[in-house]
Chain A
Amino acid sequence: MSAIEINNVNKVFNAGSGNQVVALTDINLSIASGEFVSLIGPSGCGKSTLLRLIANLLEPTGGDIVVNGKSPKQARLDQDYGMAFQQSGLFEWRTVAKNIELPLELKGWDKAKRHERAMEMLELVKLADFAGHYPWQLSGGMQQRVAIARALAVHPALLLMDEPFGALDEMTREHMQSELLGICRASGTTVVFVTHSIPEAVYLSNRVVVMSPRPGRVTEIVDVSIEGERSDATRDNSAFFKGITAVREALRGVEMSDHVRGIEDR
């Protein structure tokens, strides 16, 4: 069964008014359960908008989307997905454990069960010793790990990530990529991952969706065929470089512009 079906989806902002922007046009994409798919493209190509359509934070203007066999709205109400953003978005007044408990609280879980799950998630992201800390006492990488733990707390089938490692330094970033793959392997989670980084997309993904702006559309889908489990050694693998070249060439066909109004750069 596919985790996400996107058929002929369009998104127009401010439709009919003077500053109408066609953010996405004619998007078709099917993502299989357990698959890791990256969306890559220059600013203004609508990759974050597409992620928000899947998350039902935005409604498509046309076409339809099926998430986990349901409408995106139903999937959101059922908390079928977890979400992580570039800014960790942790609440500074809550401890690390309480931050992870937030989605469970909103779902009405009782206290003991919540705490148990939070500790389980902290084990997973290797931060069990920091349950009682406040976010501002952690480094950027650790904060992002907490955000991922929070996104996974409800054991969602699907993880939606919007440049989650964009604000991290290169070393931490590579480390986090490996951690994320380990976590997804362990949990069998389907991931849709928005990024600016070609190596990041190739290292993480089964498929890389290359998008182009004005209007935002899918120009190519690159299959990344790297044998076996990915590890830091993968980064020296020739298949990895082949993937990078393929994505770069696909992007080169995309008209680049520094002056695209960044609809998605919020």
Chain B
Amino acid sequence: MSSTITRPQRTSFLTPRRLRRVALFFASLVLVAVAWELYKVVGPEAGGKIFGWKLLPRANDNAMPHIWEMLERYGRPEVRGSDRKIWSVVLAGAWFSFRLALVGFFVGTALGLGLSILMARFKVAERGILPYLVLSQTVPLIALAPLVVSWGGKLSIGDWTWPRWLSASVLGAFLAFFPVAVGALKGLTSPPSASIELMDSYAASWWQTLRKLRFPAAVPFLVPALKLAASASVIGVVVAEISTGLKGGIGRLIIEYAREATSDPAKVFTAVFGAALLGLAMSGFVTLADLYMMRNRPKEANA
């Protein structure tokens, strides 16, 4: 009986499997760069048609600058005559948006959890709230952004006034709360009736059952929900920056640089990569949370 027993062991953070995944990630980056340059060699300069459909993108240096031009662009100033190199501008922009997205992520997660607890507690609440949650996600963000800005602008509590950046975070939260609410609701209602009966047999209160049973049982459902929420909050913030004209973030940089696409085609790509870095930082943050939350769970559920 005891032959199959394994001692609980702490696996090291850098397992061969994880190292291999990191190596694969960098290999895939190289592969994309190679494919990009290869297309520039074989692709049609002015774009091309396949069976009459205009499908092939233009391969000229304006539409598709060389990878090395993009990299080299990072080392030059943002605008002629400035001492600020563009890499520091992009990094600062990504950092600015990252902080907004983080605020949006936390606010959205808190809101989603709150709603899911409410819905798990009261069946009536689930029937009343859930359709509106689904509906809320069909409202186009672009339409909502100016509304949030104008509502926020009218808000002030004592000395505190609504900072402009908060509107972007609110829109990030607006996209982030949904997967958390739905995932957590599924998780909170996942314990089998035997477990609920067990807690009842201990005369446990509803809050005790929530803390000791429902919430831990929801964690495996929460992990993928948080991953979705993280990328949703980034999208929300970047789109909000663009549509409300908020300065300082990566979304704004992309719009500004895109205007210069004809004279300085590599410039916009520096900002696009900045946005990609932002997304990576956000998902890295959630992955760390995932590793922590799932550290003592069965490995099948962890895969």
Knowing A102-B212, A266-B193 are in contact, say whether A136-B202 is a contact too (CB < 8 A): no
Partner of B297, one of A92, A139, A141: A92
Whether B201 contacts A55 by the Cβ 8 Å rule is yes
* Stretch of B1-9, B124-132, B154-162 on the interface side: B1-9
Q: Which residue of B lies closest to A135 (CB)?
A: B298
Report Cα–Cα, A265/B217, bound state, in Å.
Answer: 23
Partner of A138, one of B5, B199, B213, B216: B5
Whether B216 contacts A91 by the Cβ 8 Å rule is yes
Partner of B197, one of A57, A106, A137: A57
Whether B298 contacts A83 by the Cβ 8 Å rule is no
Whether A85 contacts B212 by the Cβ 8 Å rule is no
Whether A89 contacts B195 by the Cβ 8 Å rule is yes
A132 contacts partner chain B, Cβ-Cβ < 8 Å = yes
**Size of chain A's interface in residues, with CB distance under 8 A?**
34
A77 contacts partner chain B, Cβ-Cβ < 8 Å = yes
User: Distance (Å) between the CB of B221 and the closest chain A CB?
Assistant: 13
- Residues of chain A within 8 A (CB-CB) of B212 are 91, 102, 105-106
User: Distance (Å) between the CB of B38 and the closest chain A CB?
Assistant: 48
Whether B208 contacts A137 by the Cβ 8 Å rule is no
Q: Is the interface of A mostly helix, strand, loop or mixed?
A: loop
Q: Is the interface of B mostly helix, strand, loop or mixed?
A: helix
B16 contacts partner chain A, Cβ-Cβ < 8 Å = no
Whether A93 contacts B200 by the Cβ 8 Å rule is no
Knowing A91-B213, A139-B1, A266-B193 are in contact, say whether A57-B8 is a contact too (CB < 8 A): no
Whether B195 contacts A93 by the Cβ 8 Å rule is no
Knowing A105-B212, A134-B8, A142-B1 are in contact, say whether A83-B203 is a contact too (CB < 8 A): no
Whether A139 contacts B4 by the Cβ 8 Å rule is yes
User: Distance (Å) between the CB of B257 and the closest chain A CB?
Assistant: 47
Q: Which residue of B lies closest to A75 (CB)?
A: B203
User: Distance (Å) between the CB of A253 and the closest chain B CB?
Assistant: 32
Residues of B within 8 A of A (CB): 1, 4-8, 192-195, 197-204, 208, 212-213, 216-217, 219, 296-298
Can you sample 6 A-B contacts with CB below 8 Å? A76-B200, A79-B203, A83-B198, A87-B194, A105-B212, A141-B1
